[in-house]
Structure 1
Amino acid sequence: MATATLDLSSLNPEQYEAVVHPGGPMLIFAGAGSGKTRVITTRIARLLQDGVPPWRILAVTFTNKAAREMRERVEALAAAGAVRDMWIGTFHSVCARLLRTEGRAIGIDQSFVIYDDSEQLGTIREAIKSRGLDDKAIQPRMVLSEISRAKERLQSPDKYAQIATGHTENIIAEIYRDYDVRLRRANALDFDDILFFAHRLLEQAPTVREKYQEKFLHVLVDEYQDVNRAQYEIVQLLGGKHRNIVVVGDDDQSIYAWRGADVSLILRFSSDHPDAKIVKLERNYRSTGNILAAANAVISKNRGRADKRLWTENESGPMITLTQTGTERDEGMMIAEQVERLVASGRRKYGDFAVLYRTNAQSRPMEEAFLTYRIPHVLVGGQRFYERKEVRDMISYLRLAFNGRDDASFRRAVAVPSRGIGATSMQKLEDMARKREIPLMEAARDQALQTELKKAGAGLRVFIDVVARGAHVAEEGNVSAVLRELLTASGYVDMLRSEHTQEAEGRLENLQELLNVTSEYDATAEDPSLGGFLESVSLVADVDALKGENGEAVTLMTLHSAKGLEFPVVFLAGME
C-alpha cells in the first residue's frame, strides 16, 4: 500500500535487519539516539507495502506525543489514508477503546468517565470517611498509591484482601473494596482500571480475545522497558495467536519503576519467546563522542543489564564540564551567570538551554537565580492547562452532561457558580444518595428533597436544567457547541465578567482556549463526540508548553520530564 518502494539503503545493517524481519517475535534493544523511531515506522510502512491491511496492525507507545509522531512518520511513508485504519496509540488509549467497544462483556458501560488524580483522591477520602476512619491517620495519597500498585499487579479488591497482612493492609483492603464500589456506581474508571479491566476483558471474554487476536496480525510496542505487569500481559494476550510481536526498548533507559514499570519484563521477553529474534541498535546518531563515553561509563555499573555498548562516528565534541560550588544557591547563580554570558555573546538564545534535576524540589535555587538575573524561564511541571480551576470546572460540567452518574463531577460543578447550595444541603443530598445507593444527580431530582431544601432546592433545579441542556446539545456530536451552551447557561462566564479583575480576565482567556481545543477536536476527530473528547482530555500526558510567550525561555525540568527531548546546552544540577 506504500506510495512507492521504500528506500532502505540509508539504514545501517542492524536497522535493516529489524525492518525486514519476516515474522515471529522480535526484541529490539535500541540504545539512546540509535534511530528506533525510524526503525519502527519504517517497519510498519514495510508491512503495509507487503500487503498487510492497516487495520491488522497495532502499534503501542507510552505518550500521546510519541503516538502522534509515529502516526505522522508512517503517514509520510505509506499510501494516503492507510494510517487512518491502523490502531496507533498509548496503552491507555488503546485499552480505553477496547473497553468502550467491548466492555459490556464484563459489565463495563461504554459511557464510563475516567477519573483524574483529584477525583480519585476525593473518592478515597469518601471511602475512608464512610468507614469512620481519620484521613490524617490513614493518608488518602498513600492508600491510593497502594491500590494503584495492586491494580498494576492485577489484584482485584478480593485478591488484595486475601493476601493482605498486618493491620494497615487490612484497612486498605476494606477501603479498596469501598473505592471500587463507588467507582462502579459512578460509572467511572481510574487510570489503572483502564489497563486492569482491559486485561480482565481479554482474559475472561474468550470471544472478544479471539476476535482481537485474529484482528491484530502484527503488534509493535515502543519503550518496552517501561511496561508493568498488566501491560506485559495485555501485549501477550493480543499477540498470542499470530505471535508477530515486536517490542522495542532499552533496559538502560528504564526510569519509571516508581510508577510500576518492571525492567525485568523486557529481559523476560526472550525467555517467554525462546525463538525470538534479538537485534541490538548500538550506533548512536545523536550525541558527541565525549557525551557517549561518559554515559557508557556510568551505565556500565548497572547490574543485570543486557550486554551492549553504544558507539558513534560523530566527532568527540567539547569536553563535559564539571563545576563544584559551595551551596545550592551558589550553583543556581553560577548557572544563571553562564546562561546570561552565552546569550550576551550572541552565540545562544534562551530557548537553547535546559536545566535538569532529579526532583522538582531542586528547582527553587535555579528559579531564584533566574529571577535575580531576570532570565526568562519556564518551569515544566508547574500548573498545567487542564489543572487550572476554571478548566477543571467546565470539564466537570461536560463530564456530567455525558454521564449523569459522575458524582465527583457533580460535587465540583454544582458548587460553581454559587447557587445557594451550602454544606448542610449537600450533606442531605449525600445522605439520600448513600441510603438509596443512587447517584447524586438522581437524588437531586427528588421533588420532596427539593421542597425541603427551599432555596437550595431551587438552585438544584436550575443546575439540573443546565446539565440537561448540555446533554441535549451533546446528542448532535459537536463538542464546542456543548461547551458554549454550558458556559452560558451555567452563568460561569457572567460570574467571571462581573469580577472585573485581571485574574478573572486570565480565567476567561483559559476558557476561550478550552473552546479552541473543542473546536480543533470537532474539526479533526474522525467521529467527534463528547465522550471521545473527554477521553482525549483524560489521557493527555504531554507537557502543555515548554517555552514562554515569545518562544524563548530557559527550560527547568526533572530528568524524567526531559526523556526524549534535546537541547543544545544542558546543565545537570544537584549531581551530588
Structure 2
Amino acid sequence: MVSAALSPDALLADLDPEQREVASRPLGAMCVLAGAGTGKTRAITHRLAYGVAAGELRADKVLALTFTARAAGEMRTRLRGLGLPTMQARTFHAAALRQLQYFWPRVVGGAPPQILSHKAPVVAEAASRVRLQLDRVGLRDAAAEIEWGKVNMLTADAYPASAARASRQVADLDATAMARLWRTYEEVKTERVAIDFEDVLLLMNGILAEREDVAREVHDQYRHFVVDEYQDVNTVQQELLHQWLGGRDDLCVVGDPAQTIYSFTGASPRHLLEFTKRHPGAAVVRLQRNYRSTPQIVTLANRVIGRGQEHVQLQAQSGDGPMPRLLTYPDDPAEAAGVAQEIKGLLGQGVPASQIAVLYRINAQSEPIEQALTDADIPFLVRGGERFFNRDEVRRALVLLRGAVRSDNPERPLPEVVGDALAGAGLTTVRPTGGAALERWQSLDALVQLSTDLSVEQPEARLRDFVTELDRRAGEQHPPTVQGVTLASLHAAKGLEWDAVVIIGCSDGMLPLSMAEGPDEIAEERRLAYVGVTRARRHLLLSYALARNPGGAPSRSRSRFLYGAAGAIDGVADQPVRPAAKDRPRKAGARAATRCRSCGEPLTVAAQRKIGRCAACPPTYDETLFERLRTWRSLAANGKPAYIVFTDATLIAIAQDMPADLDCLARISGVGERKLRMYGDAVLAVLDGDDPTEVAEKHSAATE
C-alpha cells in the first residue's frame, strides 16, 4: 500500500534528534554509526523521502544498497510507505547484474553468460581434472576460498602469497594446490560460458573502469547512494561503489562495527571506520538510542561488547523487562529439554511462537533442540534453508490461487477463499505434529494469515489483490511470518528480532568456538555474541551444558564473554573483588599437573602440565589478565626476548592460579628464586589491577 507523499516537516516530526540530523541533510557525504535497534532503516529511508519532498533529490536518481534480498525488500516496502514506490533498493549483486545484462551486448556482444547457481559442481569437475580427492565438505570449503579470493580482487596466481599473509588454510590443500584448482575452475566456467556471482561484480568493475561511455551513463543514472550495513562491505564491493560514485560525494553509509561478523567472507569494517579519510568533511552521526530492547538486555549487550572507541554504547529507550537469565544444565540433552520447557513457559505467558527464537553458534546444535521441541509439541521452523517463495508447496499454492481468481466470491471473507483454495495444496484444519508435513502446513498457513492481514488493512481487497501482493513479495523476497519458534544460527539471525530469544551453547569452546585463534578471531566471536543478545526485545535466556553426554565429566565453563556480566544476568553472581596482596588468604601454589583439569585426559607435554590443561580444552583463566601480564612482561624484558622473563606457559599458570602472595607465586612451575626476587612484586601488582606499563616503569626505575 503506497502512502501519499508527506511534507518535509512531517517526515522529520517523529524522529529523535540524531535520526532527524541524518534525515534533514540529504546531500553530501555522511557516515552513520548506528547501534543495534537504533532505527537506522527508519533514519535513512526518511532521509531519502525528505530529500525528495524538499526537492533536493530525484527518486529516479537514487540507488539504495544493502546485502540481502530480504533487507532490500524491507527497504523498498518502507520507501513505498513514504510515497516513493519507484525508488530503487537493491543488493550489490542485483544492481551490478542488472547493469551487466544491460551493457553486455554493447561492450562484449551477444547474450550475457549464464550465472552459476552453485559453485560446487564446477569445483568438483575442476578437482577431478587436477586429480584432487575432495569430499562434500572439502568442495564447499574450496568454493568458499575461491569466493574469498575474488571478493579481495585476487587472481589464482596471486592467491598463494595472499593466503600465506592471511594464514588461510583449506582442508588438506596447500596454497599451491588451491591456486591450481582455482585456475582449472575458471577454465571449466569458460567452457560452459558461465560466470559466478563474484564475476558479476568484477566484470562490472572492469567495464566501468575501461569504458568511459558506460561510466558516464551510469553516473548520469545514479546521483545519490545510500549503503546500509556498510561494515559488511568487502574489497570488490567497495571498488564498485567507488566506480559508481565517479568521484562525487553524495553518499550516505550506515553501519555498526560491533556487528561485523562476516570477516571470513572478506568483509571488513575498515571501510566504515575510515570513511572520513576517503571523504574529508563528511558528517558523522551516532545513533545510540535503542528502541528494540529492555534496559536489562541493553545493559548486558554493552557489557558483552565492551567499551571501544568504535563501538556505539547503546542507551535503552524501552520500558523495564525481566532480567536476562543464565541456565546451566548437566549435559546437552538436558539443555535441549530444559530449553523446550522454558519455551513452553513463554508460550503460556502469551508470547507467540513466531516471536520466539533459539539461536546457536553452529547449525549442528539445532538437532537436539528440534527433537526436544517436537517431543514438547511446539511448532518450529529452521531458518537458513530454502527461500519461502521457492518452496514447492508455495509455488503450488500460487498456481491454485491464480486459478481461483475468476471464481472469487466477493460475499465471502478473503481468508476463507484463500483457505479453500489452499486445501488443494495440502492445507488442513488440523496442524500436523512435526517433520516435513508440519513445515509444509506452516508455509500454507502463513499465506492464510497474510490474507487476514491484508483484509484488515484493505477491507475491499479480493483474491486478485492478494495474488498481486504475493507476486510483489516474491519479487522482493519478503516472505510472510510463519507461525513457529525460529531456530537459526547467530549469523542467520543478524538483522532480525524477536520478543524472546534463547541463545544455547554459551560455553567456552562453543562461544567462542575452540577453533577461533588470535585476538581478531576472538573479537569476531564476541561480536557474534553481541548480535545474538541484541536480537531480543523483552526476554533473553542464555544456556549451556556442563558436559556433552549424560554422565560425562562437567568440563565446560560459561562463555568468557559473560565474565563481565555479573549483575546483568540472573544466575551470574557478582564476581568478588580481589583484595590487595597483603590482605589475601594464602593459597596453595600450583604443582605440575598430570591430568587436564577440564577433561581429565593425561598430560604428556611439559607446557600443558604446567598450566594443567590440554590443547583441546578451552582456557580456564582470565584472558584479559593474561594479556595484561604479557604487556608487563614485554616492557620488563627491555628489548630482550620476552621468554627470558617468563614463558607464556608460566604466565598462563599465574593467570589461572592467581597467587595471593610471594610464597604462592614461588610454587608455580617456572618461577624460580631468582625470578621471584626480580619480578615477584611486579607480578602481584599486575594481579592486583595496577597498570602493567606503570608497574614496569616503577620496576625499571627501582633497579637503575
Q: 1:137 to 1:101 in 2, by over 3 A?
A: closer
Q: Is the 8 A contact 1:113 1:189 kept in 2?
A: yes
State the match for 1:570 in structure 2. 501
Q: Tell me, what secondary structure is at the counterpart of 2:325? A: coil
Matched, 1:249 2:255: yes
Corresponding letter in the other structure for 2:152: R
Q: 1:94 to 1:383 in 2, by over 3 A?
A: closer
State the match for 2:350 in structure 1. 347
Q: Is the 8 A contact 1:92 1:194 kept in 2?
A: yes
String of CA shifts for 1:138-185, please: whole Å, max 9, x gaps: 943332222111110112345547868798323332332222232233
Counterpart Cα distance in 1 of 2:503 and 2:393: 36
Q: 1:520 to 1:169 in 2, by over 3 A?
A: farther
- Contiguous gaps of at least 5 residues in structure 1: 393-479, 482-504, 529-535
State the match for 1:445 in structure 2. none
Map 1:499-538 → 2, pairs under 5 A: none
State the match for 1:311 in structure 2. 315
State the match for 1:29 in structure 2. 33
Q: 1:157 to 1:520 in 2, by over 3 A?
A: farther
Counterpart Cα distance in 1 of 2:354 and 2:129: 51
Counterpart Cα distance in 1 of 2:493 and 2:258: 16
Cα distance, 1:259 vs structure 2: 2.0
Counterpart Cα distance in 2 of 1:174 and 1:131: 8
Matched, 1:363 2:294: no
Cα distance, 1:340 vs structure 2: 2.2
State the match for 1:70 in structure 2. 75
Map 1:315-326 → 2, pairs under 5 A: 315-326=319-330
Map 1:176-187 → 2, pairs under 5 A: 176-187=182-193
Q: 1:47 to 1:110 in 2, by over 3 A?
A: farther
String of CA shifts for 1:289-328, please: whole Å, max 9, x gaps: 1110110111125x6x515311123223211111111111
Counterpart Cα distance in 2 of 1:128 and 1:554: 40
> Normalised by the size of structure 1, how large is the TM-score?
0.68
State the match for 1:153 in structure 2. 152
Cα distance, 1:74 vs structure 2: 1.5
Q: Tell me, what secondary structure is at the counterpart of 1:561? A: helix
Q: Is the 8 A contact 1:57 1:218 kept in 2?
A: yes
Q: Tell me, what secondary structure is at the counterpart of 1:323? A: strand
Q: Is the 8 A contact 2:23 2:50 kept in 1?
A: yes
State the match for 1:227 in structure 2. 233
Counterpart among 186, 201, 207 of residue 201 in structure 1? 207
Counterpart Cα distance in 2 of 1:19 and 1:31: 17
Counterpart among 27, 36, 54 of residue 50 in structure 1? 54
- Contiguous gaps of at least 5 residues in structure 2: 396-401, 404-435, 448-463, 508-704
Query: Aligned residues: percent identity?
Result: 33
Corresponding letter in the other structure for 2:99: L
Cα distance, 1:76 vs structure 2: 2.0
Matched, 1:38 2:54: no
State the match for 1:60 in structure 2. 65
String of CA shifts for 1:236-263, please: whole Å, max 9, x gaps: 2211333101101111111212222112
Cα distance, 1:229 vs structure 2: 0.8
Corresponding letter in the other structure for 2:205: H
Q: Is the 8 A contact 2:70 2:478 kept in 1?
A: no
Q: 1:18 to 1:388 in 2, by over 3 A?
A: closer
Counterpart Cα distance in 2 of 1:68 and 1:138: 32
State the match for 2:181 in structure 1. 175
State the match for 1:103 in structure 2. 104
Number of positions where the alignment pairs a residue of Structure 1 with one of Structure 2: 436
Cα distance, 1:545 vs structure 2: 7.3
> Which stretch of the first structure deviates more once superposed, 92-101 or 361-370?
361-370
State the match for 2:121 in structure 1. 122
Q: 1:222 to 1:379 in 2, by over 3 A?
A: same
Q: Is the 8 A contact 2:40 2:254 kept in 1?
A: yes
State the match for 2:5 in structure 1. 3
Counterpart Cα distance in 2 of 1:521 and 1:187: 40
Corresponding letter in the other structure for 2:88: W
Q: 1:148 to 1:355 in 2, by over 3 A?
A: same
Q: 1:108 to 1:95 in 2, by over 3 A?
A: farther
Q: Is the 8 A contact 1:60 1:90 kept in 2?
A: yes
Counterpart Cα distance in 2 of 1:243 and 1:354: 41
State the match for 2:142 in structure 1. 143
> Which stretch of the first structure deviates more once superposed, 158-167 or 210-219?
158-167
Q: Is the 8 A contact 1:201 1:208 kept in 2?
A: yes
Q: 1:255 to 1:161 in 2, by over 3 A?
A: closer
Map 1:377-392 → 2, pairs under 5 A: 377-382=380-385
> Normalised by the size of structure 2, how large is the TM-score?
0.56
Matched, 1:334 2:333: no
Matched, 1:192 2:198: yes
Cα distance, 1:333 vs structure 2: 1.1
Q: Is the 8 A contact 1:381 1:557 kept in 2?
A: yes
Structure with more relative contact order (C-alpha pairs < 8 Å, separation 6 or more): 1
Cα distance, 1:388 vs structure 2: 7.4
Counterpart Cα distance in 1 of 2:175 and 2:107: 28
Counterpart Cα distance in 1 of 2:224 and 2:486: 39
Q: 1:15 to 1:383 in 2, by over 3 A?
A: closer
Corresponding letter in the other structure for 2:101: R
Counterpart Cα distance in 2 of 1:216 and 1:199: 16
Cα distance, 1:198 vs structure 2: 1.9
State the match for 1:269 in structure 2. 275
Q: 1:4 to 1:122 in 2, by over 3 A?
A: closer
Q: Is the 8 A contact 1:112 1:187 kept in 2?
A: yes
Counterpart Cα distance in 2 of 1:145 and 1:341: 41
Q: Tell me, what secondary structure is at the counterpart of 1:317? A: coil
Counterpart Cα distance in 1 of 2:470 and 2:328: 52
Counterpart Cα distance in 2 of 1:143 and 1:353: 35
Q: Is the 8 A contact 2:256 2:311 kept in 1?
A: no
State the match for 1:457 in structure 2. none
State the match for 1:15 in structure 2. 19
Q: 1:253 to 1:163 in 2, by over 3 A?
A: closer
Q: Tell me, what secondary structure is at the counterpart of 1:287? A: coil
Cα distance, 1:213 vs structure 2: 2.1
Cα distance, 1:375 vs structure 2: 2.0
> Which stretch of the first structure deviates more once superposed, 383-392 or 213-222?
383-392
Counterpart Cα distance in 2 of 1:149 and 1:253: 20
String of CA shifts for 1:63-115, please: whole Å, max 9, x gaps: 1122122112212222xxx532x332111100100110113466385433221
Counterpart Cα distance in 2 of 1:136 and 1:364: 23
State the match for 2:85 in structure 1. 83
Counterpart Cα distance in 1 of 2:234 and 2:496: 23
Q: Tell me, what secondary structure is at the counterpart of 1:308? A: coil
Q: Tell me, what secondary structure is at the counterpart of 1:83? A: coil
